[in-house]
Structure 1
């Protein structure tokens, strides 16, 4: 990625119809030449062997951590295993993400099985809840009404959603830029809560009874095995501290992986959003992160967010290979291709959150 040329983007996203105003009758064909190039170079072909090796390494590290907990017993030194446990758990999340996009295998049943094991059993997150939410995000990234990732919640991403918030919610919005990363430490626990709620409260109507039963069983096994591991190897105070360190670092890791991708990027006017076409819709709302092999590993390939959104089923190791093609194609069409460094990506994302809260601070 070092040869990539970063094009400038504004820190504050603009809700504008400018891209739509220049929409052409050829909008639908803008993506076709790029898709043809990618297919010709075999970049959509699965890398099952790569994923098999990656999964084997992840499970081996997980096994070593479990063995270490058993071997150390009720010792405060065992807390040193919590950070690597968080890192390897995040690896499970990345595999579950890739499996959900059919990156690992073209066999739908096998892909769902891989995701079910990694999401429900190893991570404690509902497969069906995540897929439904994430597919809506991919279909309409940064759409204020259709993308669940920018829906108003504890954090809000647009001034329209911030308007009128008062009390504790208003206080959160005024200070959300400072609170963002501390709040991400709760993400690992939040994923579990959302998953259990979707499965056990039957709020997700997409699940068949059989699939709901499978998800419920695996989520229950996850929690049971996790608690049993900690309480049988550590004292109760040690187990509680280990759990907090593990889950908080997991949430922070996931937050650091997801935060730079779209936050602070363009949020097109919902009224003209659908006129953009697939290429512009995905490129204009996504941001890539420069870096090398370590960045690719730590961010799970999500640093190639533009390529991932254009080709969701593209295997993770092919994303960096597709990047020069995508960048050159965007340049030929005059479409901004946003790429920046890791630190600057967080600066842009947090700067946007700070700007969203500005009206409430002015009124305070």
Structure 2
């Protein structure tokens, strides 16, 4: 195909069918702004990860691309250009009323984004982020100082563990901001801050996080795509995941462990939910180490790979040495380890769960028929809170706004909330805004619905 070719839409959609059918040699295409790009050879080298770009094969990826990429990505994309969609393919087909509303909603959100860009709403405040970084580092320094001066006191060690746990959580929110390029226009400057705050301070790998998080944003709450809802066999969040997990046991009849989990654990997940999320921070830290030292940097850069691994090693060296040097007893060392890890586990997981858990989970077929911006709204939950809640949640209580505009600095999300909410109301798009207590209850209700289904399936199978 030449660069001036007209590419029929059927060529693009057929590439999705071939991909789903597992045809390895089939060409893969995406559409961005009515231009067709062949990404067959580029997928493996995609700087944002293989999984995220694979979710867009055979689709119009315009909104995802604009929301998730810096300006420099447009030049890289141009290397894959093979032609334009034909005029008849680019035209909007006749739609039913609901689909028409979704299309109009998407068009208005795009127009709003352009308006907000012109107003500078996507420019991060350097003063705000300087304050956030310095104030967060002050929390960490406080925890270290408490151990240095009071490591012989059990109560001081306990308090230091709580402070350290909060420090890690706040580092996570800041690393998230920089990872979405909210603070600086310079892509590499953001990555350095993620490596420092996420890797050195918090112990999470930049590449591990981006590999998961980019896919989550591109295909939010889509069954089989979104890694954030794929938490089996520890927790099941929806009926589709439950059916998939129990269905997989048909091929594992000799697996005593899987059967035990299915029969005796998952039907009671609301009972152990608040216990297991305490281990979230430690689990993610271990996954980060494994990913960094086995897979390496997401963009395959040797320098980024070295930076990430160095930051992770330095994190654990500092954490371990400070613990061993300044805590006077082994029991207090163990307490510091458990409490600091669990504090961050709860402080992160409770926020993450409220973002999307208990909200609609879509099949891949449903998602293909919906506007990207509609998916972002209907699968997310906003939590209305005061300034202290905004601080604790790291701005992620504006989850709908964040998913519609992931590269918008968190300090501007409250300003656009009324506009997004009004557009959702205008086009009859679900916009769920609730309190922290109600959101937590909704999460537990979702777990309860699934655990009852798990109980019925386990009785039927075993």
| TM-score normalized with structure 1 length | 0.90
| SS of equivalent to 1:195 | helix
Q: CA deviation at 1:133?
A: 0.5
Q: Taking structure 1 as reference, are residues 209 and 39 closer, same or farther at Cα in structure 2, changes over 3 Å only?
A: closer
Q: CA deviation at 1:105?
A: 0.9
Listed one character per residue, the Cα deviations across residues 129-148 of structure 1 (whole Å, up to 9, x for unaligned) are 10111000000100001100
The aligned residue for residue 236 of structure 2 is: 156
Q: CA deviation at 1:281?
A: 1.0
The reply on whether 1:190 has 2:283 as its aligned counterpart is yes
CA distance in 1 between counterparts of 2:165 and 2:97 reads 46
Residue 306 of structure 2: which of 205, 208, 213 is its match? 213
| SS of equivalent to 1:138 | helix
- In structure 2, stretches of 5+ residues that fail to align are 1-94, 250-257
The aligned residue for residue 260 of structure 2 is: 168
Residue 357 of structure 2: which of 251, 263, 269 is its match? 263
CA distance in 1 between counterparts of 2:321 and 2:106 reads 54
Moved more, 173-182 or 19-28: 19-28
The aligned residue for residue 98 of structure 2 is: 22
Listed one character per residue, the Cα deviations across residues 252-302 of structure 1 (whole Å, up to 9, x for unaligned) are 000111111111111123212122112201001001001111110111100
Moved more, 66-75 or 19-28: 19-28
The reply on whether 1:333 has 2:427 as its aligned counterpart is yes
Q: CA deviation at 1:204?
A: 6.6
Q: Taking structure 1 as reference, are residues 322 and 88 closer, same or farther at Cα in structure 2, changes over 3 Å only?
A: same
Q: How well do the aligned residues superpose, as a CA RMSD in angstroms?
A: 1.9
Q: CA deviation at 1:226?
A: 0.3
What is the count of residue pairs matched by the alignment? 346
CA distance in 2 between counterparts of 1:35 and 1:294 reads 28
The reply on whether 1:282 has 2:387 as its aligned counterpart is no
Q: CA deviation at 1:167?
A: 2.4
Residue 253 of structure 1: which of 323, 347, 355 is its match? 347
| Larger RCO of the pair (alpha carbons < 8 Å, separation 6+) | 1
| SS of equivalent to 1:336 | coil
Listed one character per residue, the Cα deviations across residues 154-195 of structure 1 (whole Å, up to 9, x for unaligned) are 212222322326523213321122222211100110111110
CA distance in 2 between counterparts of 1:200 and 1:81 reads 30
Answer yes or no: is the 8 Å Cα contact 1:156–1:162 preserved in 2.
Answer: yes
Q: CA deviation at 1:340?
A: 0.5
Q: CA deviation at 1:88?
A: 1.5
CA distance in 1 between counterparts of 2:370 and 2:356 reads 17
Counterparts of 1:1-364 in structure 2, within 5 Å, are 22-24=98-100, 26=104, 28-77=106-155, 78-153=157-232, 154-163=234-243, 164=246, 167-170=259-262, 171-202=264-295, 206-234=299-327, 235-362=329-456, 363-364=458-459
The aligned residue for residue 3 of structure 1 is: none
Q: Taking structure 1 as reference, are residues 262 and 20 closer, same or farther at Cα in structure 2, changes over 3 Å only?
A: farther
Moved more, 272-281 or 111-120: 272-281
Q: CA deviation at 1:34?
A: 2.5
| TM-score normalized with structure 2 length | 0.71
CA distance in 2 between counterparts of 1:48 and 1:142 reads 33
Answer yes or no: is the 8 Å Cα contact 2:267–2:455 preserved in 1.
Answer: yes
Q: CA deviation at 1:28?
A: 4.6
| SS of equivalent to 1:312 | coil
CA distance in 2 between counterparts of 1:294 and 1:262 reads 21
- In structure 1, stretches of 5+ residues that fail to align are 1-18
| SS of equivalent to 1:339 | strand
